[in-house]
């Protein structure tokens, strides 16, 4: 078993600066978990503490049920893949992948079996005789992954491995990493600042901010049910829109009163949930894909019409993004490319209120 357990983990530097502030996390055997967040949130520091490359200030880390606080990196039975491939330039691909096993005195036949099996999984069998300078960036990344796979570790640790690749190659390598995990099924902890990588790769996503864990859950849960304003704004691209609002009574129902006079009805199934916040100044959150063009004879349930005047229109081919402003808040709507949107021209938008969120600006919690 290769579960990873973090209990009350703290990392404090000189001067009392805490990079990680007492986090708890349980990662199951064979699970693929992604730590995601902006620069300085503590995700890379957490990964380095799991690897043993960074000393923990307080707390406990266990791998496979065994406490590893005082165990050096080489004895933790982990393998890391870094942003920098760190391949030996004078060695062939085969020798780069075999080198770690040779140092551990593995039999030649076992080394050969492991290297060729990893090369088969990664589809780099034809590259085994080449040296790194003859490889592309994506091929070098595969070799770095192969070097980790041959060790057959308890845990794989990925430290922003795709950051040096161009956009097209990053998409391709995301797919490769997911395929490898589905084949090898080793417990994997992956660090990235890219929420798209996190959403597409992870069984569960750990969203970090300022050294704490904001929320942990499957990608779709974080997308549809964020716990905080930070998670709501960080997960999803373009980011969720946030508009100042007041929650008001409208007969037996509730409505969201926006600056400028627009009043949007709250779905009936949210009434009991929001009733205690009546009359309060809140934030109305809605994703760009839930703010769309009004369609002819549109009878979609829980749709409310909001008129806006776009200031910027971005045709993207498969969609059009329209940007407008309400009381200083920049709002983005995701439109069908056939929608006749133009800067300065009034545009009616349909807001899917079943997908709305209300946020308490004092606590930044989603209500």
Phi, psi of 97 (to 5 degrees): -75, -30
With CA atoms as reference, report the closest residue to 336 among 299, 292, 286: 292
pLDDT higher for 214 or 300? 214
Of the pLDDT bands very low, low, confident and very high (cuts 50, 70, 90), residue 297 is confident
Cβ pair 61, 49 in contact under 8 A: yes
**In this predicted model, what pLDDT tens digit does every residue of 190-204 receive, in sequence order?**
999 999 999 999 999
Residues 165-190 as b/e (b if ≥16 CB within 10 A, e otherwise) read beeebbeebbebbeebbeebebbbbb
- Distance between alpha carbon 340 and the CA centroid of its chain, in Å? 34
Task: Indicate the pLDDT class of residue 1, thresholds 50, 70 and 90.
Answer: low
The reply to whether CATH 3.40.50.300 applies to domain 4-232 is: yes
pLDDT tens, 210-236?
Answer: 999 999 999 999 999 999 999 999 998
149-179 pLDDT, tens digit per residue, is: 888 889 999 988 888 778 887 888 888 888 8
The pLDDT value given to residue 28: 95
SS3 label, residue 293:
strand
pTM of the model: 0.89
Q: Which two tokens stand for residue 220?
A: 């779709």
Classify domain 241-366 by CATH number: 2.40.50.140
Gap between the Cα atoms of 357 and 367, Å rounded: 7
- CA 7, chain centre distance (Å): 22
Residue 75: partners with Cβ closer than 8 Å, 6 or more residues away: none
Q: Does position 101 have pLDDT exceeding 80, yes or no?
A: yes
Residue ranges covered by each domain of the chain:
4-232, 241-366
- Count other Cβ atoms within 10 Å, centred on residue 307: 13
Across residues 58-71, what is the average pLDDT?
Answer: 93
User: CA–CA separation, 296 vs 274, rounded Å?
Assistant: 32
**Distance between CA atoms of residues 267 and 338, nearest Å:** 29
Q: What percent of the chain has pLDDT over 90?
A: 50
298 pLDDT more than 80: no
């Amino acid at each position: 078993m290769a579960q990873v357990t973090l209990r009350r983990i703290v990392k404090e530097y000189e001067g009392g600066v805490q990079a990680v502030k007492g986090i708890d996390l349980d990662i199951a055997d064979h699970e693929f978990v992604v730590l995601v967040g902006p620069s300085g949130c503590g995700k890379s520091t957490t990964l380095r503490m799991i690897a043993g490359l960074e000393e923990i200030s307080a707390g406990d880390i266990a791998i496979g049920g065994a406490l590893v606080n005082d165990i050096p990196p080489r004895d933790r039975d982990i393998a890391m893949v870094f942003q920098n491939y760190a391949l030996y330039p004078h060695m062939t691909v085969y020798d780069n992948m075999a080198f770690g096993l040779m140092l551990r005195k593995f039999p030649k036949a076992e080394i050969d079996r492991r290297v060729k099996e990893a090369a088969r999984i990664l589809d780099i069998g034809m590259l085994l005789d080449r040296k790194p300078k003859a490889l592309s960036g994506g091929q070098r990344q595969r070799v770095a992954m192969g070097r980790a796979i041959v060790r057959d570790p308890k845990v794989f640790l990925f430290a922003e491995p795709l950051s040096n690749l161009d956009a097209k190659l990053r998409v391709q390598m995301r797919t490769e990493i997911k395929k490898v995990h589905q084949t090898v099924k080793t417990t994997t902890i992956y660090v990235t600042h890219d929420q798209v990588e996190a959403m597409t790769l992870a069984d569960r996503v750990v969203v970090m901010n300022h050294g704490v864990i904001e929320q942990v859950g499957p990608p779709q849960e974080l997308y549809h049910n964020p716990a905080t304003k930070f998670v709501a704004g960080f997960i999803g691209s373009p980011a969720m829109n946030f508009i100042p609002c007041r929650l008001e009574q409208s007969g037996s129902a509730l409505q969201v009163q926006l600056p400028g006079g627009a009043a949007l009805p709250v779905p009936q199934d949210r009434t009991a949930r929001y009733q205690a916040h009546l009359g309060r100044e809140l934030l109305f959150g809605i994703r760009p894909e839930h703010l769309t063009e009004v369609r002819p004879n549109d009878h979609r349930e829980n749709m409310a019409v909001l008129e806006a005047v776009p200031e910027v229109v971005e045709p993207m081919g498969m969609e059009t993004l329209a940007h407008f402003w309400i009381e200083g808040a920049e709002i983005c709507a995701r439109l069908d490319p056939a929608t006749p949107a133009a800067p300065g021209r009034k545009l009616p938008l349909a807001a899917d209120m079943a997908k709305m969120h209300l946020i308490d600006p004092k606590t930044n919690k989603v209500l």
